[in-house]
Amino acid sequence: MQDKLLSEFERIGIEAIKKGKTEELDKFLDGVVKNRDINLKRVIK
């Protein structure tokens, strides 16, 4: 599960860096806190 989460973070992180929207990464971290198994696509709208 951790590996899945890390590769999801990689995907979303690279997108966020390209767009210059690092606030999305903080949302992701909040999502990790909220529920480690959450569907992260729902967290990052």
Partner 1 sequence: MSTQINIENIGGITKPTKLTLKEGMNVIRAPNAVGKTSFIRAIQTMILPEDELKKRTEFLNDFATRGKVEMVMKNKTVYRTLRLGAEGLSVVGDALYKNGWKANLLSVAVPENDFLDNILKGKNLHDFFENFSETKNYKKLLEWCENRHYNLQRDLYRYTDDVTRLKNIRKQIEKYTKELENLGKERMKLKPIVENIKRGRVDKKLEEVSKKREKKNILYSRISELNYQIDIRKKDMPKLEKEIDRLDKEISEFHKTHPNVEKEIDKLWDKIIELRKVMDKAKDEVNEREVDISACEQGEGNRCRECGRPFTTEQRRKRQSDLRKQLTERRKELVSVESKIKETEIERDALIEERDRTLKYMSKELNEKSGTLTQYERDSKAWEKERNEKISEMNNVEKEITELEKALDPRTRGILQKAGEVESRVGETEGRLKGYNMEVEELSESQKIADQLQIKTEFLKSTIAYLTNRINELKDVVRKRFNERIKDVYEILGFKDFEKIEIDDMFQLTVRRKCGDRTRTQEINRLSTSERITIGVIVMLAGKEEYLPDFPFFVLDEVTTAYDPKRFEKIIDYLHHHVPYVVVTALAPTGEALHIEHKL
What does the H/E/C string look like for 1-45? CHHHHHHHHHHHHHHHHHHCCCHHHHHHHHHHHHCCCCCHHHHCC
Q: Cβ closer to partner 1: 17 or 41?
A: 17
Examine residue 10 and tell whether it contacts partner 1 (CB under 8 A). Answer: yes
Give least dist CB 45 to partner 1, A. Answer: 20
List residues near partner 1 by CB under 8 A. Answer: 2, 5-6, 9-10, 13-14, 16-18, 22, 25-26, 29, 32-33, 36
